Amino acid sequence: MTHVGHQAAAPQRREPTAEDPRATWKDVVAAYVGLTKPRVIELLLLTTVPVMFFADRGVPPLGLVLATVVGGAFSAGSASVFNCVYDRDIDEQMRRTRRRALPRHIVSARAALVFGAVLGVLSVVVLLVWVNPLSALLAVSAEAFYVFVYTMLLKRRTTQNIVWGGLAGCFPALIGWTAVTGELAWTPVVLFAVVFFWTPPHTWALALRYREDYANVDVPMLPVVASAHAVSRQVVVYSWVMVATSLLLWPVASTGPFYPVAAVVLGAAFLVEAHRMLGRARGTEELSVISPMRLFHASNLYLSLLFFAVALDPLFS
């Protein structure tokens, strides 16, 4: 019989810091890149570029696409950096975030603030000079909303934090459209709404997986204060509204037949997964049974393919 109590404790691995000689320049560069949350940037750009193709009804000027992508990436990265600085206290305590740059002390809070500010300024310059003032204004508005409204006001105070805070992630659809046309219209507003209704199922699935983390730091995400079944019901409701909203693009933008067919197929597949999660959550709180990450990954695939269909539709019309 093994007596684990008599085993020597494994030595704790000390993480390198910016002042630690073991922190190489690669560690520091990777830390700064990590502060910008590249996966979030990737998802945001995924809703920007297809809208530009749809607005142009073809292939927009590649220089314009590049400038919009760079400016949008700088803006989203800046917002993420400020979010990391503000949330560094709770990030240190959460399994999902404790290996970020600030909890590991590879980057100081002051250095991160300067980095975030530089990215924000570069974003405005790029969008003003090479895109247009309206797109620059929308990018600044999205960043300010994410930092001041979601991060500082809503996240730690209400279960509706990501419902309304998620508005910031909807702006790329508007930015992509205005980058090409120079004005707003109902078409990007519909796509804005699709992302708005997509955000709660996407985020709540992830929050359900890490609900203990959020509970430990007193962040009232819906899965912290409601049962898994109640959360799954809300996921189903938002999913139905999201799919219905996606179909509005057909009459509003007078798309060809390719987009509505794709939207119906993708929407049906997503709704099946949402209802399956609801069924798995009935009468249990076991995450191994509920498998919320299945819906999380399905939501990423859904949004990617839906906006890919937006970009391709003019080519088939």
Binned at pLDDT 50, 70 and 90, residue 26 comes out as: confident
* pTM: predicted TM-score of the whole model, two decimal places: 0.91
Mean pLDDT of 150-167: 95
Mean pLDDT of 43-50: 93
pLDDT computed for residue 286 by the predictor: 96
Taking a C-beta distance cutoff of 8 angstroms, is the pair 165, 149 a contact? Answer: yes
Tokens coding 49: 């570029």
pLDDT computed for residue 22 by the predictor: 62
The DSSP symbol for 185 reads: -
Residue 9 has pLDDT above 70, yes or no: no
| C-alpha span between 151 and 172 (Å, rounded) | 19
Residue 42 has pLDDT above 60, yes or no: yes
Average pLDDT, the chain: 92
Reported as a single tens digit per residue, the pLDDT across 230-270 is 999 999 999 999 999 999 999 999 999 999 999 999 999 99
| C-alpha span between 213 and 293 (Å, rounded) | 15
Residue 4 has pLDDT above 80, yes or no: no
With 0-12 / 13-18 / 19 or more C-beta atoms within 10 angstroms meaning exposed / middle / buried, residue 283 is: exposed
Tokens coding 145: 């909303």
pLDDT computed for residue 83 by the predictor: 97
Taking a C-beta distance cutoff of 8 angstroms, is the pair 155, 214 a contact? Answer: no
Reported as a single tens digit per residue, the pLDDT across 84-139 is 999 999 999 998 888 889 998 899 999 999 999 999 999 999 999 999 999 999 99
- Residue 55: closest CA among 170, 177, 171, 173: 177
Of all residues in the chain, the percent with pLDDT exceeding 90 is 85
pLDDT computed for residue 19 by the predictor: 47
| C-alpha span between 197 and 167 (Å, rounded) | 10
Residue 23 has pLDDT above 90, yes or no: no
pLDDT computed for residue 96 by the predictor: 87
Taking a C-beta distance cutoff of 8 angstroms, is the pair 85, 116 a contact? Answer: yes
Binned at pLDDT 50, 70 and 90, residue 25 comes out as: confident
Reported as a single tens digit per residue, the pLDDT across 66-90 is 999 999 999 999 999 999 999 999 9
Reported as a single tens digit per residue, the pLDDT across 141-156 is 999 999 999 999 999 9
Residue 157 has pLDDT above 50, yes or no: yes
66: Cβ contacts below 8 Å, ≥ 6 apart: none
